[in-house]
Amino acid sequence: MTEEIVATDAYARETEATVVESGDEGVVLDRTVFYARGGGQPGDTGSLRWDGGEARVTDTVRRGGRLLHVVDGEPPPAAAVVAAAIDWERRYILMRTHTALHALSGVIWRDYDAKVTGGNMDVGTARMDFELDEMSGEFGREVEGKLNAALAEDRPVHVRFLPRAEALADPDLIRTKVNLIPESVDPIRVIDIEGIDRQADGGTHVRSTGEVGRVAVTKTESKGRAFKRIRISLDEA
């Protein structure tokens, strides 16, 4: 088991760790600041440095219950002590993107009663699908205004660990299908954007919505009945 520092501290950029396993599939560490791909968020990239070597981490994935740092080139040997560092600028944009997506889902639920059916993100861009009947460019501009107003309120973003029974009784978490989380998961990690959105989530988020900055709705698409897609992008300026 790898101690996953990001579960409680998304701002940790580097840690010293010991190699538990090293092979063709990747490197397992006893602890890490790398986020393993999941929940629509890409895996972290970065570097492992040890006495006598260095390797690029090109992806971080979960496979067979292990958290694997996928490396380019020669991996560190088992039992080596490494400095594991993520590409912080990339990750920070992913944190802003992820929080923006949750805020979007909260705004669409609050103002249009529509549930999320899917989503995915890249560095600075994301898409989310909703059970909406109508979609238009005008609707997209309206959503963009509401989303930016909500983000500008600089709401705190809390990471909470709720006992499973409590999470299963929470209306916001029921709406976001908390019941689909495997029964063995207890407590359940919840991301709570104060007053905007609350959902079970394993991803990394910024501390407050002010850090997200402004967001643009770049595209609105109708993929079918009750299947509408909104694409967003962070304003870098």
Q: State the residues that interact with Zn ion by CB under 5 A.
A: 201, 203
What is the smallest separation between the CB atom of 135 and Zn ion, expressed in angstroms? Answer: 22
Residue 26 or 106 with smaller CB distance to Zn ion: 106
Residue 192 or 201 with smaller CB distance to Zn ion: 201
Across 59-95, b (16+ Cβ under 10 Å) vs e yields bbbeeeebbbbbbeeebbeeebebebbbbbeebbbbb
List the Cα angle 146/151/153 in 5-degree steps. Answer: 100
Residue 20 or 159 with smaller CB distance to Zn ion: 159
Residue 29 or 151 with smaller CB distance to Zn ion: 151
Strand 31-32 and strand 3-4: pairing? parallel
Residue 28 or 103 with smaller CB distance to Zn ion: 103
Read out DSSP for 160-219? EEE-HHHHHT-HHHHHTTGGGS-TT--SEEEEEETTTEEEE--S---SBGGGT--EEEEE
| Closest residue to Zn ion using C-beta atoms | 201
* Closest residue by Cα to residue 98 from 121, 129, 128, 130: 121
What is the smallest separation between the CB atom of 137 and Zn ion, expressed in angstroms? Answer: 26
What is the smallest separation between the CB atom of 8 and Zn ion, expressed in angstroms? Answer: 16
What is the smallest separation between the CB atom of 11 and Zn ion, expressed in angstroms? Answer: 17
What is the smallest separation between the CB atom of 202 and Zn ion, expressed in angstroms? Answer: 8
